[in-house]
Amino acid sequence: MQSALIVGKKICSSLLLRNWVRPLSAASDKLTNVEVNDKTGFAKLTMNRPPVNGLNLDLLRDLHQSIQDIEKNKCRGLILTSASNTIFSAGLDIMEMYKPDQERLKQFWTALQDVWLALYGSAVPTAAAINGHSPAGGCLLAASCEYRVMLPKYTIGLNETQLGIVAPKWFMSTFRNVLPRRIAEQALTQGKMFTSDEALKIGLVDELAATKEEALLKCEKFFASFAKTDPIARYLTKKQLRHNDIKELLDEKVQDVENFVLFVNQPSVQKGLGLYLESLKKKAK
């Protein structure tokens, strides 16, 4: 595992502290970083895979581990954000799907399912401080949280149809959990990317913030709104509301991996992914 965990002493007993500390790798290797505020108990989970936080197998596994750690240590809130100044996450790393190793491809999709199940179903209150562009898988992560604060002048959305890809059912359920059904249907079928202002207007994000610091504070304010609620009652309510979406994936988890593998291996999909990668690289030149 390549994540680093920094824990405030006041919240965690020495036993917990021992549980939390995982071997730290060299700073340049860290893919996620968790910092817990010792006064509030809020954890900041930062994705750190330059240049664009492309969700590859390693980052996904790291994210999963970090979410589980935050959960186990009974933090009072989880804020997902990015170390980049302009990108929250570019979504799935297309390199994982282009000319893939078949075994790794399965592991990759399973890892994405696991991150979604952990984040969408988290007992800990969750929020995303979206400090950059957030297409596709990036949007999925943000939308899986309970609250979103976004910085201005970026874009967010599930753009799969624009790439000739069909978003799986659980991507769509996540959107439907946040957006009115008709808006979700239009956005998903069009593969629309929304500007920050548009995202606020349709309710894809809850607030805008001028800076990352302000976004983090607004996420913390959201968590503070639960101060007078019972954490168990809060979680059971969330759990029931999200139960069907989660059950649907759990019931079809293996089949979903098979569908993904079949889909990605279609020659037409491989051709499309290759062309898309090329266009991204040309753009970078």
Ligand X SMILES: CCCCCCCCCCC/C=C/C(=O)SCCNC(=O)CCNC(=O)[C@H](O)C(C)(C)COP(=O)(O)OP(=O)(O)OC[C@H]1O[C@@H](n2cnc3c(N)ncnc32)[C@H](O)[C@@H]1OP(=O)(O)O
Catalytic residue among 59, 92, 119, 204: 92
Active site residue 160: yes
Q: Helix, strand or coil for residue 186?
A: helix
Looking at the Cβ atoms of 7 and 90, the one nearer to ligand X is: 90
Is residue 91 involved in binding ligand X (CB under 6 A)?
yes
CB-CB neighbours of 275 under 10 Å = 12
Give kind and range of the element (H or E) at residue 157: strand 155-157
Restricted to residues 150-189, the positions that interact with ligand X (CB under 6 A) are: 159-160, 163, 165-168
- Phi and psi at 23, nearest 5°, equal -55, 130
Is residue 133 involved in binding ligand X (CB under 6 A)?
yes
Question: Is the backbone peptide bond immediately before 23 cis, with ω within 30 degrees of 0?
Answer: no
Active site residue 241: no
CA–CA separation, 157 vs 139, rounded Å? 6
Is residue 24 involved in binding ligand X (CB under 6 A)?
no
Looking at the Cβ atoms of 20 and 108, the one nearer to ligand X is: 108
Is residue 203 involved in binding ligand X (CB under 6 A)?
no
CB-CB neighbours of 182 under 10 Å = 8
Select the span of 13-21, 74-82, 128-136, 247-255 touching ligand X (CB under 6 A): 128-136
> Which residue, judged by CB position, is nearest to ligand X in the bound state?
91
CA–CA separation, 111 vs 80, rounded Å? 17
Is residue 54 involved in binding ligand X (CB under 6 A)?
yes
* Residues involved in catalysis: 92, 137, 159-160
